[in-house]
Structures are given as structure tokens and as C-alpha cells.
Amino acid sequence: MSVATRPILPTPSLAAERLALLHRLTDGLPPADLYWISAWSAALAAQATRVALPTGNAPAEASNTAVPERLTVLYGSQTGNSRRVAEKLAERATAAGLNVRLLRTGAYPVRELAQERHLALVISSQGDGDPPDDALGFVEFLGGKRAPKLPQLKFAVLGLGDSSYPQFCAVSRRLDARFAELGAQRFADLGEADVDFEAVGASWSDGVLEKAREALATTPASASANLRPVALHAVHSALHGRENPYAAEVLENQRIVSRDSAREVRHLELSLQDSGLRYEPGDALGVWPRNPPALVNEYLRLLRLDGEQEVAHDGRRLPLSRWLTHERELTRLSRPLLAAHAAASGDAELARVLEPEQREALARLLDTDQPIDLLRRHPVAWDATQLVAALRPLTPRLYSIASSPKAVGEDEVHLTVAVVGYHAHGSEHLGAASSFLATAGDEQRVPVFVEPNERFRLPADGSRDIIMIGPGTGVAPFRAFVQERQAVGAAGRNWLFFGNRHFAQDFLYQTEWQQALKDGALHRLDLAFSRDAAAKTYVQNRLREHGRELYSWLREGAHLYVCGDATHMAKDVHETLVDVAVTHGGLSAEDARGWLAELLQEGRYARDVY
């Protein structure tokens, strides 16, 4: 029989009034919150300085204040990778005694650019050479007529991208050239990192830090503490983060489309109990997947390799089956792998696809084929070591969180997952993460971490109206938004546009939306089911139909959110919004685009697209 005892606390060294305040702050907090506070306090002690947690919106200083000697680190990030590189650089520079300011590009006061002296920028390129949504305003300002001459500025740019796309690191190349054109001087060469960006990011940061230490007067770590913001989510990582995921228990895993639907979509509920992880509506959950066992076995069979064979790579030694299941990308074909396979096979057909004039053919191949298709059509006798080296590292998948912790509790998180599965080239193909999640059950833990998304937040003013556009699984974050707004009693109206293929088969969370309408948690719901009539109807059609009201809501201060497919849907919705502003606002097309750009810069038009 065990007897519960009160934990022995350390003898207090705080003044009585501060100790009383600490008791008030921590009274009633669950263990996970207390562990978080402990980790945060340890981080503060390690830096021996006060830590300013930035709001992400307010500039650090007024524009008429002299800018001190410091290193400003900016990041433009769509999935969090650029942010992580920038945070690590800022942490290292702070530890070296430098004054550091860390900001996302969307929060950077561009009027201060003329006074900056040392600037390091980490920015990703997406799609066809587009900047992250949060960086659009910064990129447009720097490339426009209002950009100041910058002879006083020393700068360094790191680009993150995917070499499988033709416009690899196009944004960083453009910004690097533009800084130089405005008279700024590089204190580190342009860096370009592929999907496996860690090594290049660390090397580039080493060079930046070395030059920054030479250029800036090193000060004691306690000086200018207000210039050392450390993002709140960086402290969270002391418990669990991308490199140290939490093994979440599956509480529920159910199909939420009809049995005769052509697509499988699942609703998952995961436990975060005792994880220390915290999230807000708009954040994403990172999932470290495992490749399908059948696919791993097919690799071994085709290449006649032994899964038990030990393979040494990148300082680690693991069985080949472990590499293929947990460590390597098996479902995503990349340009580097295609080039390596073409060289190893000597296949002229593959080599031609890699030529510059074959951009469209290469894009189709990367979109439709998996690496296994390459192995089947163009056999190469890879040995185990060569195979592990040629395949890209497995990367986590990000899913928009479909719950509010205020509604479901802080120890739960919900996901909406479309399961990737299709027949091609005579065989079945599966997505790594979605098939992993689809089969996750009671005995299986899911490695997860929270990926904050500062760009996709509800308005701080609950009286503001919101408009949500989320076809398919893009509706996930809006389930969280509506739950949150209902839980806090927000007075603003909520308008949802949802679309899918069939009303009877693919109406995700139908009963919840109907109940939300009855409860007043949802004020308007407009639907578009593309395959239920001869003429296809999409969410952009509904936007046009209700354009007058839509434009009126926006002119009155509503916030607009779009979530889902970046390739087609998000672009079509954006063009529709331009048309709505032209038709119902009397704007020219150019002015309409400028107006939307202003909404993006203000944070009133936010996109979570992939």
C-alpha cells in the first residue's frame, strides 16, 4: 500500500511578496503546465537575462529612435523550417553576447530598413518561386519604388527550397540581388538549402555568426535584454518538439465520409496528456510517419536486399529495414533521386527529362510517380549503402489542427486526414503519413509535435467577423476556429464556405455544422459540391454569388481565412476576391490586388495552403 506524500519543495529564496505571487500564478495548474514553467525558467536562467516574448505585431522601437548596434534576424516561413533556422541563429548570437532582434517578415516594420546595419534573412520559396504568405508584404516593399537605398546595410540571405521545382530558391536569389542593387553589402554569401536543409543552414549560420561577431561590439549577456526576443514556441521545445516528438496515444480514429465515397477521410483524436505541448487554433500538428510495411518489403524484394543488414550513414548505423521504415522518403520522388537514378542506370530517357527544356515533363513525372515506379521501370542494382545515401531523409508531415483546446481540453488534439491511396502503373500507391495515421489504433503511438502558425490566428478582438474558406480537409482549422469562438463567447459573426465532391458522401462534419448553426456559433454556411450537378460548382462560385455581402463584410473589418490546396484552389479564390472587389467595390484590378495585399500585410487575409 502506497501513501501519497506532499513533495518536498526547496527552501524559498524569494521575497515573501514574490513568493506569494508565484503561488497565485501556479495554484491549480496541472503537472504539464508546471513542467512547462520549469523548462521556461531553466531557459531564462541559462541565458542569465530577461526574455522578451514578442507579440509578433509591434515593432521593437519607434521609428524615430536610434537603432542600436545589433543583428536583426528575419524569417519568412510557410512550414516552420526557415523559422527554426532563424531561431537557432538568434539563440547562438545571443549566447555569443550580441544584441539580437528576431522577427518574422510579416511583423517587421519596413520603415526601419533604412536604419538597419546588420540583417540576416532566412526565407523559403514555394510553388512556382513564390514567397511565404507572411513575407509577401516585405518582398513587395523591397522590390518596389519605396525601398530605400541601403549603403549602410550589411546583409546575408539563406534560401530554403526544393530542388525538384524549377524555381528553386527563387525568392532568396531575388532578394539577395535586390539588397545588392540597393547598395547593401553581403557579409555572407547567399546560401541555398534543399529539403534536407539542416547541414546547409548550420554552415551558413556559422559564417553569419563569425562575421556578426567581428562587426558588432560584444556586450555582456545582460545588456540590452529588451532586444533579445525568444519565441514562446522555442521554449516549448525544451519538452517535446520536432526533434523530440511526443508519442501520442490514439483516442479515436474514425472514417467521416460515407462508405461509397471515392476518397477516405478520417477524424483522429490524440492524447497530449503530460506532454507539455500546447497549441492554439490555427497551429499545425507535425507527425513523423512510418512508411507502409508493404512498400518497404517491395523495395527489399525488387533490389534483393536483406532488411537485417546493418548500414552506416551520416554517423549512424541501423538495419536497412529501419532506414527504409523510419528514416528515408519512399513515397515522394525528387529531382536529386531522379538524377542519381539516371546516372546509375545510364538511361537516356531519364536523362532527357532532366534537361531544362523538359520542365513540364519533369513536373508531371514528379507529381505522378513514386520512387518505386522508377525502380520497376528503370532497374538499377543499388546496394544497401548506396540506396540509403540516395534517398532523401524522411520529413514530418504537417496537419492543420481541427480542435480548440478550450473546447476539447488541453490534453487532446484533433486532426482531419485525407488518406492518400491510388492505383497507378499497375500497382497500388499509398501516402506515408496518411496511411500510417489511417491504421493507427489503440496499441500504436503517433510521434507528434506542435508547429506554431503565427500567420493563421483568430482576431484578438472577438467582436470582429470572420470569413472562412475551406474546401475538403481545408475545413479542419475552421472547426477549431468555431469551437474557440463559441468557447470564449466571441461576439463577431462566423461565415463558412465549404466545398467537396458530393453532399451525401463528402460533407465533412455535417452534423457539427448544423448544430453550430442552431446554436448561433456559426452564422452563415455556404456549400459547393462539385459533382452533384452537370455544371461543377466550387467555393469560388459561391464567393461570386455572395460577392456583395462578402465585400461588405471585408470593408467593415472582417478577417478572411483560406485553407487547402495551394496549386489551384487558393489561386482561384484569390482571383475571385479580386473580381469581387472590382465588381462590388468599383476598384480597378490593380487597386483590388493592392487592397488584398494590404489585407495580407495587416493580417486580415490569412492563408494556410499546401
Q: Could you tell me which residues are beta bridge partners of residue 415?
A: 268, 401
Q: Could you tell me which residues are beta bridge partners of residue 527?
A: 498
Domains of the chain: which residue ranges?
71-231, 246-289+396-451, 293-390, 466-609
CATH of domain 71-231: 3.40.50.360
The alpha carbon of 508 is separated from its chain's Cα centroid by a whole number of angstroms, namely 23
Do residues 379 and 345 touch, judged by C-beta distance below 8 A?
yes
- pLDDT of 435: 96
Per-residue pLDDT tens digits for 6-33? 333 443 444 444 555 555 555 444 444 4
The alpha carbon of 258 is separated from its chain's Cα centroid by a whole number of angstroms, namely 30
Side chain identity, residue 120: A
Per-residue pLDDT tens digits for 291-324? 999 999 999 999 999 999 999 999 999 999 999 9
Does 246-289+396-451 carry CATH code 1.10.3470.10?
no
> CA 605, CA 590: separation in Å to the nearest integer?
17
Per-residue pLDDT tens digits for 138-189? 998 999 998 999 999 999 999 999 888 878 899 999 999 999 999 999 999 9
Report which of 442, 397, 395 is spatially closest to residue 415, judged by C-alpha positions.
Answer: 397
Percent of the chain with pLDDT over 70: 85
Per-residue pLDDT tens digits for 265-287? 999 999 999 999 999 999 999 99
Per-residue 3-state assignment (H helix, E strand, C coil) for 62-78: CCCCCCCCCEEEEEECC
> CA 428, CA 377: separation in Å to the nearest integer?
15
More confident site: 239 or 581: 581
Query: Mean pLDDT score of the chain, rounded to an integer?
Result: 87
CA 49, 51, 55: angle at the middle one, nearest 5? Answer: 165
- pLDDT of 50: 33
- pLDDT of 441: 87
Q: Flag whether pLDDT at 408 surpasses 90.
A: yes
Q: Could you tell me which residues are beta bridge partners of residue 525?
A: 496
Residue 461 has which C-alpha cell? 478582438
Collapsing DSSP states into helix, strand and coil, what is residue 128?
A: coil
Considering the four listed CATH numbers 3.40.50.80, 2.40.30.10, 3.40.50.2300, 3.30.70.990, the one that applies to the domain covering 466-609 is 3.40.50.80
Beta-carbon contacts of residue 19 (< 8 Å; ≥ 6 apart) = 12
Contacts of 545-554 with CB under 8 Å at 24 or more apart are: 547/579, 547/580, 547/583, 547/584, 548/584, 550/467, 550/580, 550/584, 551/580, 551/581, 551/584, 551/585, 552/584, 553/465, 553/467, 553/493, 553/495, 554/467, 554/599, 554/604
Instruction: Answer yes or no: pTM beyond 0.85.
Output: no
Q: Taking residues 594-610, what's their average pLDDT?
A: 91
Q: Flag whether pLDDT at 39 surpasses 80.
A: no
> CA 465, CA 59: separation in Å to the nearest integer?
26
Q: Taking residues 403-423, what's their average pLDDT?
A: 97
The alpha carbon of 29 is separated from its chain's Cα centroid by a whole number of angstroms, namely 29
Q: In the CATH hierarchy, which top-level class contains the domain 293-390?
A: mainly alpha
Beta-carbon contacts of residue 340 (< 8 Å; ≥ 6 apart) = 390
The region of weakest confidence among 5-9, 113-117, 389-393 is 5-9
More confident site: 198 or 22: 198
Per-residue pLDDT tens digits for 459-511? 999 999 999 999 999 999 999 999 999 999 999 999 999 999 999 999 999 99
| Residue 303 buriedness (CB in 10 A; 0-12 / 13-18 / 19+) | middle
Instruction: Please determine whether the domains at 293-390 and 466-609 fall in the same fold group of CATH.
Output: no
Beta-carbon contacts of residue 46 (< 8 Å; ≥ 6 apart) = none
> CA 341, CA 343: separation in Å to the nearest integer?
5
The region of weakest confidence among 63-77, 221-235, 585-599 is 221-235
Do residues 476 and 416 touch, judged by C-beta distance below 8 A?
yes
- pLDDT of 129: 81
- pLDDT of 247: 97
- pLDDT of 51: 36
Do residues 362 and 336 touch, judged by C-beta distance below 8 A?
no
Question: Taking the alpha carbons of 46, 51, 55, 61 in that order, is the dihedral positive or negative?
Answer: negative
- pLDDT of 41: 54
pLDDT band at 382 (very low <50, low <70, confident <90, very high): very high
Report which of 135, 187, 141, 155 is spatially closest to residue 72, judged by C-alpha positions.
Answer: 155
- pLDDT of 525: 98
Report which of 74, 83, 227 is spatially closest to residue 153, judged by C-alpha positions.
Answer: 74
Side chain identity, residue 209: L
The alpha carbon of 576 is separated from its chain's Cα centroid by a whole number of angstroms, namely 25
